[in-house]
Chains A and B, each alone.
Chain A
C-alpha cells in the first residue's frame, strides 16, 4: 500500500484539474475520566478527509477551488461534522483580483491568539487553538497599489461556532445548545456583513488595518433551560470592529502586535496581543534552528462576571520554543506555556512532528491543563489533560 501511495500525485482527470489533499486518523487519549456527566472516558478516535479539487483556465487567471471537509468522531456526535472549507471562483487581473464563493481569509501576525482574524468562524470542535475555521461565503475584491493592498468584502451569511457535545471533552459543565440560537439582528444568519482592509509592506514593517461591520463571531454564552435540559444559549450580537496588525522584522527578531476595538450595543472594549519571536539559526554548530516566542494578552474587559462578558485572554502571558532540526524529514519540536497572570493555572503544550517516507506525517501532542482555582475558566478543563497522536497521508 505504501508504494502505491508514494506513486500517487495530483493527477489530471480533465484538462487543468488537480486533485490533492489529506486523509488523517487521530487518536486522543485523556488521562483522567471526564468531570461531567456523559463525557467520554478516555479514548476518542476520529477520521479526517479533506481533498482539494483545483481547476484553472485562461492561463491561470481564472480558477475554481473546491475543498470539502469531513471528520468522523467515534465518541462525540458534535465532533462528527462536515463543512465546505472552500468553494470559490477567483479571477486575477493585473493589479486586482475578484473572489466569489466560500473561502477562508487569515489576518494576523501573532502565534498564541489570533485577535484580528475575524472573517471566518472558529470550528471549535476541531481543536483548542482556534486555528481551524469554517468556510465563509464572500464576495471580495482586492486592489494592489503602490501604497498598499486594499481588500473589500461583502459577507452574506453567517456561520455559528461549533462546540463539543455532551459526550465531548474540553468543555465546561454545561453543553452549548446548537438548536436555539439568538441573534441581535432580525436577519439572523442572513445578515450581510462588510469589511474593508488596507495592508502594506514598508521596509522592515508589515502593517494592516481594517474595519468590520456585522455579526459578532464570538457568541455570548448564557446558562439556559430548554425543556428539562440545562445548557448554554448562544447569542450573536452585531458589532463594529476596528483591527490593527503590525510586524517589524529586524534581523533575527520578529516584533508583533495585534489590536482590536469592538463596539457592540452592550459594550465597547479594546484588546491587544503583543510579543516577539527570536530565532537562533544553527544552534550548537548544527543545522537546527531554535526559536523563542513570548506574547502577552490584554483585554480591557478583564475576566468579566455574571453581568458582563469578559475574556479568557485578559492578562495572560505565553512562552514558546520551537526546535526545527532542518533534516530531510522536517522534524520539529514545539513547546508552549500559557498562564493567566491573575490566577495560578496554566496550560502546557508539547508537540513533536515528523515526515515518514514521502507522503506521511505523524504528530504527537501532549496538552496539560492545570488549575486549582474554581473561579477561573480553566478549572472546567482541569481533568482534560490529553495526548493526541495524528497520522496524516498527503496526496
Chain B
C-alpha cells in the first residue's frame, strides 16, 4: 500500500489509514489513536467511527483466522458450579467437534454427570447465516428430539455459561468497534467491543481483550440487555496443540449480578482424531458414549 498515493481530506483520515495498514502486518505494536483530538472535527468523527469498526473487525478476523485448520477435536470438560453460599456442583461433558470450511462447525456433546442426565447427547450443526440445527437425545425414552436453536440466552446446564457462550465464534455473528489498547496480566492487548447481530442474544455487547502477540482472547466482559455489566469470563492456562492451535485449559465465568460462578476445566484435548461427517448425524447421536 503506497501511503503517499493517498489524498486525504484531513490528517485524521491519514493517521487512521496508516494505523490500519500497520495492523494488517500484525507485527508492529499499535499506538493508540488520540480519540479526543479526532472527535473535535466533524468529518474526522465519521472517519474514526468507520475505522474503529474496521479495526475491531480486523482484529476479530485475525483471532478467528489463527484458529482455522484444526480439523476435528475431542475434549473432556469438567464444569464446576459455585453459588453465593460456596456450594458446588459438577458437570462432566465430552465434546467432539468437526470444523467445516464452508459453514459453521458441527459438534456433539455427551453428558456424563450429573448421573440423572448421563447419556443425554446434543448434536449441533451451526451455520454462518440462519439458525443452527440442533437435536437432543434423551436416553430414558431413546428419543431424538429436534429442538429450537433460538434459545441463546438460557443457562447451559444451570451454569453461568449460556448456550451462545458455547457456540463457535463466527465473524459474521457480530459487528465490531475497536476501543483501544490495554495491559492484561502483563500482555499488550487490543480491546474490541463486539455487538451480537442475533436479536435473541442475551447481550447488548461483549468487550473482548485479545493479546497482540498471538491474537488470543484472554478476557470477555458481557453486558446484558440493559447494558449493565453482567459477567466476566477469563481464559487461563493457554496451551498449544499441533504447534499452532491454542486452547485455554481453564475458563472462569463470574456473574457479578447474582454472585455465582462457573469454572470450566478442559482435559484430554485431541486433534485430528479422524472424525468425519458420519460421526455427526442422528444415528451417531443415539449411540455415542
Contact = CB atoms under 8 A, between A and B. Distances in A.
A247 B114 contact: no
B116 A281 contact: no
A199 to B, nearest CB: 7
Interface string A346-374: 00000000010011010000000000000
Interface stretch (A233-241, A260-268, A322-330): A322-330
A10 B289 CA distance: 12
A394 B287 contact: no
Interface string A75-107: 000000000000000101011010000001110
Interface string B114-132: 1111110000000000010
Contact of B146 (A90, A104, A247, A330): A247
Contacts of B144: 106
A66 interface: no
Given A106-B141, A328-B83, A358-B90, A394 B146 contact: no
Interface stretch (B19-27, B206-214, B276-284): B276-284
B115 A358 contact: yes
Nearest to B125: A201
A335 interface: no
Contacts of A39: none
B45 interface: no
B187 to A, nearest CB: 33
B148 A253 contact: yes
Interface in A237-264: 247, 249, 251-254
Contacts of B151: 252, 279, 281, 289
B71 interface: no
A303 interface: no
Contacts of A206: 146
Contacts of A10: 118
Contacts of A308: none
B143 interface: yes
B153 A328 contact: no
Given A251-B150, A254-B146, A282-B153, A326 B158 contact: yes
A395 interface: yes
A38 interface: no
B133 interface: yes
A10 B281 CA distance: 26
A270 interface: no
Interface string B261-289: 00000000000000010100111100101
B155 interface: yes
Contacts of A97: 283, 287
Contact of B155 (A54, A251, A287, A394): A287
A102 to B, nearest CB: 13
Interface residues of B, number: 39
Contacts of B115: 20, 358-359, 394-395
B141 A131 contact: yes
Contacts of A394: 114-116, 118
B158 A327 contact: yes
Contacts of B146: 109, 201, 206, 247, 249, 254
A54 B158 contact: no
Interface residues of A, number: 49
B64 interface: no
B233 interface: no
B289 A355 contact: no
A282 B133 contact: no
Contact of B158 (A95, A249, A279, A328): A328
Contact of B154 (A18, A95, A253, A287): A287
Nearest to A288: B154
Contacts of B145: 109
B114 A358 contact: yes
B289 A279 contact: no
A392 interface: yes
For A18, A149, A249, which residue has the most chain B Cβ atoms within 10 angstroms? A249
B282 A252 contact: no
Contacts of A199: 282
A56 interface: yes
Interface in A97-142: 97, 104-106, 108-109, 131, 142
B142 A104 contact: yes
B68 interface: no
Contacts of A329: 158
A149 B114 contact: no
Interface string A310-340: 0000000000000000111110000000000
Nearest to A357: B89
A251 B118 contact: no
A289 B289 contact: no
B247 interface: no
A154 interface: no
A372 to B, nearest CB: 34
Given A142-B283, A329-B158, A359-B114, A106 B150 contact: no
Contacts of A395: 115
A201 B282 contact: yes
Given A199-B282, A326-B155, A90 B113 contact: no
**Which are the 9 A-B pairs with shortest beta-carbon distances?**
A394-B115, A328-B158, A106-B142, A394-B116, A106-B143, A326-B155, A281-B151, A206-B146, A361-B116
9 contacts: A10-B118, A20-B115, A97-B283, A249-B147, A253-B148, A281-B153, A281-B200, A330-B117, A358-B115
